[in-house]
Amino acid sequence: MITDNIGRLELLIGNMSSGKSTFMNDILLRNVIMGKKVQLFQPGSSIRDIDDPSLITRGGYKILREPIADTDDIYRKVKQESEVIGIDELHFYNRGIINAIKYLVDEGKEVLACSLELDFRGNSLIFGDGPEGIYDLLPIADNVQLFNSICTHRDNGSDKVCGNPEARWVQKYYGDDVAPYETPLIELGDIRQSKGTWYAPRCRKHFKFYDKG
């Protein structure tokens, strides 16, 4: 398709609970208010809001969150008239997401994409079937923004969190223990302390780095 639009890619990468999706959704809503055609894709398995999983709304404007089963689903669901495309939680996709994003940009779309930057092991995020990962998208991005989170570590018995705003790492826990290095990279868990699998943003002082030998 020949289009007058020159595509654009903006990557919003960083830690969990760092506000990157909220930031993206705000830009998407502003584009809706400006009268642009907007689509928002999100991995179906990751939609976890309780009230209304399908809509982001403000002041009567709304965006439908379209659940995506796999990267092929993006080619099927993108509409020719769409001008701005949001893709949330890139880390749930396989490496085909790179070509899917290139395709959208080549089609003249403005693409905003959110992803974790590091996995729980403290390594650069690799897409499901690797070896490519988030850093293979950086060279084709027009803009990259890095989002840090706030460290929520508490010392034993303390009700105060660390609060360091440079919590760049995400720690995975099984109950009270840091999850072993060899456990699955993608594993759904809570974002609060619980008995099962859970994740939390950690600063350099409180992230337990793995010994990679």
**Would you tell me which residues interact with Zn ion (CB under 5 A)?**
151, 153, 162, 164, 203, 205-206
Cα dihedral 46, 51, 57, 62, rounded to 10, equals: 70
**Residues 65, 44: Cα–Cα separation, whole Å:** 9
What does each C-alpha distance from 5 to 35, 37, 106, 112, 155 come to in angstroms? 16, 13, 9, 16, 53
As measured in angstroms, the least distance from the Cβ of 201 to Zn ion is 9
What residue type is 33 in one-letter code? I
As measured in angstroms, the least distance from the Cβ of 176 to Zn ion is 17
CB nearer to Zn ion: give 25 or 148: 148
Place of tokens 């890139």: 90
**Residues 153, 173: Cα–Cα separation, whole Å:** 12
As measured in angstroms, the least distance from the Cβ of 188 to Zn ion is 24
CB nearer to Zn ion: give 134 or 167: 167
As measured in angstroms, the least distance from the Cβ of 200 to Zn ion is 10
As measured in angstroms, the least distance from the Cβ of 89 to Zn ion is 25
CB nearer to Zn ion: give 47 or 150: 150
| 189 token code pair | 């868990």
Instruction: Find, among 16, 131, 30, 13, the residue nearest to 83 by Cα.
Output: 30
CB nearer to Zn ion: give 25 or 152: 152
CB nearer to Zn ion: give 127 or 169: 169
